[in-house]
């Protein structure tokens, strides 16, 4: 299910001025630093950085604090598909259960963040 507009606005409050949200990936934590816990997190991919926001145990669409902030060139993942859980994303010492529709957003964000891609072998096509 796509993120509501008000959730995007709440996430924008934790970003630096002028940052543009490219991808917003919500997830529910399975483990945080190796400790089993269930809480909402948001991975906000912008044009400058990747910010992980903590939403708490009862706030599915309202972030409360910045959990981590890393370089935009950092790869998000890996994403593993578990038979009983579905996709599980490992990032920033978190293991997040995400909806299947966000797997493509993770892959697209990783491709856009990789600045050292090889040159196009057939640029005229």
Q: For each successive 10 residues of the chain (125 residues), what is the average pLDDT?
A: 83 94 94 86 95 87 93 92 89 92 93 73 81
This prediction's pTM: 0.85
What pLDDT was estimated at residue 56?
A: 87
**CATH numeric code, 5-113:** 2.30.29.110
- Return the closest-CA partner of residue 50 out of 89, 99, 4: 89
pLDDT for the residue numbered 16:
94
pLDDT at position 1 is 55
Domain chopping of the chain, boundaries = 5-113
Q: Please give the pLDDT value at position 117.
A: 62
pLDDT, one tens digit per residue, over 94-103 is 999 999 999 9
**Tell me, what's the pLDDT at 119?**
73
SS3 content of the chain, % helix, strand, coil (to 5): 20, 40, 40
The residues near 17 (Cβ < 8 Å, ≥ 6 apart) are: none
């Amino acid at each position: 299910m796509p993120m509501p507009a008000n959730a995007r606005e709440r996430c924008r409050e934790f970003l630096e001025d002028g940052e543009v949200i490219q991808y917003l990936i919500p997830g529910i934590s399975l483990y945080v630093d190796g400790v089993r816990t269930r809480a909402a997190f948001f991975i906000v991919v912008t044009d400058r950085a990747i910010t992980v926001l903590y939403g708490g145990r009862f706030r599915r669409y309202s972030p409360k604090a910045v959990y981590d902030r890393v370089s935009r060139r950092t790869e998000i993942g890996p994403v593993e598909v578990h038979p009983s859980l579905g996709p599980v994303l490992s990032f920033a010492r978190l293991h997040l259960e995400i909806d299947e529709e966000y797997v493509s957003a993770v892959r697209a964000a990783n491709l856009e963040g990789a600045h050292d891609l090889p040159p196009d072998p057939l640029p005229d096509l």
